[in-house]
């Protein structure tokens, strides 16, 4: 049987490991009809499950968020501005980033007009391009809303994500964006991917333009993402000083408890 002190220390250790991207061992199979909330088991230093599981509430639909900046890594800018893809220019109706509920907003079929002034195009003659979006801080995301521009668009899209802007790993590959009719306002395509903690999302575009097209280039109307609501599914790592302090307090508590004689 684990003491409360050891149980407390194991919770801190598990939280730190989870924040670093390490996966806790899954609990034994559960009846989904009676336990819809996923459970993670604590693992003791002896390799045995702790007496009480840590319950991680499942995330639900949340607000729509826009990246705060964007950079064209390759392909150049032939028309418009990459900032147009995150500032809602040409989008109707608009939304309030971080407030408007993603599912409700997209359920209303918001459209993007086909005016070049509210879009971005790579250099004329290019068939591929790379753009990186930055949220400004790590953000939990699980959906992308892509308004694929109508006159050129993206033929194939590979998404990559990163926390440091240096190392990028695949998020979702081989996406074929919707081929919207030329000359008409166009809706968003919702693209799903596993719940991810990322600061940067990179668009690797290829096979541009879609056919038919009026210009040879890659192009984007608007992009936005969904962040889940409810308790944060990825526990944050405590500051080192805080973690050490908690461990010391836990140790002191155990020593003081040991001095109390049995009644």
pLDDT of residue 230: 55
Q: 167 lies in a domain?
A: yes
- The tokens for 219 are 């192009």
Q: Report whether pLDDT(162) > 60.
A: yes
Indicate whether this model's pTM tops 0.85: no
| Span 10-55, pLDDT tens digits | 444 444 444 444 444 333 333 333 333 333 333 333 444 444 433 3
Q: 234 lies in a domain?
A: no
Q: 124 lies in a domain?
A: yes
Q: 238 lies in a domain?
A: no
User: What is the distance between the alpha carbons of residues 95 and 102, in angstroms, rounded to a whole number?
Assistant: 9
Q: 235 lies in a domain?
A: no
Reported as type and span, the H/E element at residue 112 is: strand 111-112
Q: Report whether pLDDT(166) > 50.
A: yes
Q: Looking at 35-39, 160-164, 243-247, which range is the least confident one? A: 35-39
> Which residue range is the domain that position 16 belongs to?
4-59+244-259
Domain identity same for 158 and 183: yes
Segment 128-135 mean pLDDT? 98
Domain identity same for 84 and 18: no
| Span 212-227, pLDDT tens digits | 999 999 999 999 999 9
Domain identity same for 158 and 192: yes
pLDDT band at 229 (very low <50, low <70, confident <90, very high): confident
Q: 172 lies in a domain?
A: yes
pLDDT of residue 170: 98
CATH number of the CATH domain containing 161: 2.60.120.260
Q: Report whether pLDDT(88) > 70.
A: yes
Segment 180-199 mean pLDDT? 96
pLDDT of residue 235: 46
Q: Report whether pLDDT(56) > 60.
A: no
pLDDT of residue 144: 98
The total number of structural domains in the chain stands at 2
Q: What percent of the chain has pLDDT over 90?
A: 61
pLDDT band at 148 (very low <50, low <70, confident <90, very high): very high
Domain identity same for 203 and 85: yes
Residues 118, 197, 71, 74: is their CA dihedral positive or negative?
A: negative
Domain identity same for 50 and 95: no
Q: 239 lies in a domain?
A: no
Mean confidence (pLDDT) of the chain: 77
Domain identity same for 93 and 148: yes
pLDDT band at 242 (very low <50, low <70, confident <90, very high): very low
- The tokens for 102 are 């993603």
Domain identity same for 55 and 83: no
Q: Report whether pLDDT(118) > 80.
A: yes
Domain identity same for 120 and 30: no
Domain identity same for 72 and 161: yes
Q: 133 lies in a domain?
A: yes
Domain identity same for 108 and 210: yes
Angle at 132 between CA 127 and CA 133, to 5 degrees: 130
Domain identity same for 95 and 211: yes
pLDDT band at 249 (very low <50, low <70, confident <90, very high): very low
Domain identity same for 37 and 85: no
């Amino acid at each position: 049987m684990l003491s409360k002190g050891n149980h407390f220390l194991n919770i801190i250790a598990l939280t730190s490991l989870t924040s670093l991207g390490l996966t806790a061992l899954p609990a034994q199979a559960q009846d989904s009809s009676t336990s819809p909330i996923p459970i993670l088991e604590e693992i003791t230093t002896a390799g045995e499950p702790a007496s009480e599981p840590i319950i991680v509430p499942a995330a639900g639909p949340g607000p729509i968020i826009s990246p705060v900046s964007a950079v064209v890594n390759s392909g150049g800018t032939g028309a418009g501005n990459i900032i147009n893809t995150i500032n809602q220019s040409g989008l109707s109706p608009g939304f309030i980033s971080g407030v408007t509920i993603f599912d409700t907003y997209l359920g209303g079929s918001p459209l993007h007009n086909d005016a070049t002034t509210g879009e971005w195009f790579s250099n004329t003659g290019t068939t591929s391009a790379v753009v990186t979006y930055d949220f400004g801080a790590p953000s939990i995301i699980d959906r992308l809303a892509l308004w694929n521009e109508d006159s050129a668009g993206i033929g194939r899209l590979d998404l990559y994500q990163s926390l440091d802007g240096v190392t990028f790993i695949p998020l979702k590959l081989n996406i074929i964006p919707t081929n919207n009719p030329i000359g008409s306002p166009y809706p968003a395509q919702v693209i799903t991917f596993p719940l991810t903690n990322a600061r940067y999302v990179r668009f690797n575009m290829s096979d541009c333009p879609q056919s038919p097209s009026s210009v040879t280039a890659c192009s984007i109307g608007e992009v936005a993402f969904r962040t889940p609501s409810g308790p944060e599914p990825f526990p944050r790592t405590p500051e080192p000083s805080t973690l050490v302090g908690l461990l010391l307090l836990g140790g002191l508590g155990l020593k003081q408890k040991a001095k109390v004689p049995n009644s």
